[in-house]
Amino acid sequence: MNFDWWTLGLQTINFAILVWLLHRLLYKPTLNMIDARRQEMEKRASEASAAEEEAKRLLTAAEAERIAILGEREALLKKASAAAEQAAQARRERAERDAETLLEEGRKTLADERAQAALAARSLSLDLTDEVTKRLLGEMPTEVRTEPWFEKLEGRLASLSEAERAALVDNEQGGDPAVTISIAMPVDDNTKEIWRARLRKLLGEQVGLEFHVDPNLIAGAELHFRNATLDYSWRSAFGAIRSELART
């Protein structure tokens, strides 16, 4: 077997040319294409990563906003619930106050009605007592219905000083009687003269005295001066009782 160095050299040159051609025309473009493809893929991966990060950021922001909205909703619900509870409590308190006011007014009205009924009953009782007294006294002698009361008036005048008695009949001028004696029922002329004499001993001999019958006195007598009245009668006693009952 002969070894041809020219052949080997030519084949080596051919192989080198082939390798250079392959490197120049195929391998390098392929590497460039692969590198460009890799860069494109890296770029897309980077964009996808950025998009993913942006999506995560947006999702996080959306979740935060959702949580904030839920918090606001919860706060609004609590505030609305508190306001509703306060309004309900205010209504309950107002209703309780109104009810208490109505009850108080009812109790006051009932108390007033009871008081008025009691006063009316007491007034009716006094009216009945007044009527019964009038009927009973109508059967009694005149002396019983007049003399004891006149003695009280006489005693009242006697208890006054001379100056006080003079003041009662002072400045009495003209022909009008100075003193009017009101009695519950008529008395005879003899009794009138006796009473005039007894009164003049206390009031003076010049004092004029006139009698007047007033059945409304029921029993008793009154001395009417120009500026004063001495009253000892059942009418005044009943009037005092009525006034006292009206104040209670």
Q: Where are the domains of the chain?
A: 64-139, 141-247
Tokens at 238, concatenated: 């009943």
d(Cα 213, Cα 187) in Å, to the nearest integer?
9
**pLDDT tens per residue across all 248 residues of the chain:** 566 677 777 778 877 777 777 767 777 777 778 888 888 888 888 887 888 888 888 888 888 888 888 888 888 888 878 888 888 888 888 888 887 888 788 778 777 777 776 666 666 666 655 555 555 555 555 555 567 777 888 888 888 888 888 888 875 455 555 788 888 778 888 888 888 888 888 888 888 888 888 877 777 788 888 888 887 777 776 666 666 666 66
Other Cβ atoms less than 10 A from the Cβ of 232: the count is 21
Residue 82 has a pLDDT of 82
d(Cα 172, Cα 178) in Å, to the nearest integer?
6
97 alpha-carbon distance from chain centroid: 7
Residue 93 has a pLDDT of 84
Tokens at 172, concatenated: 């009495």
Q: Model pTM greater than 0.75? A: no
Q: In the beta sheet, which residues pair with residue 14?
A: none
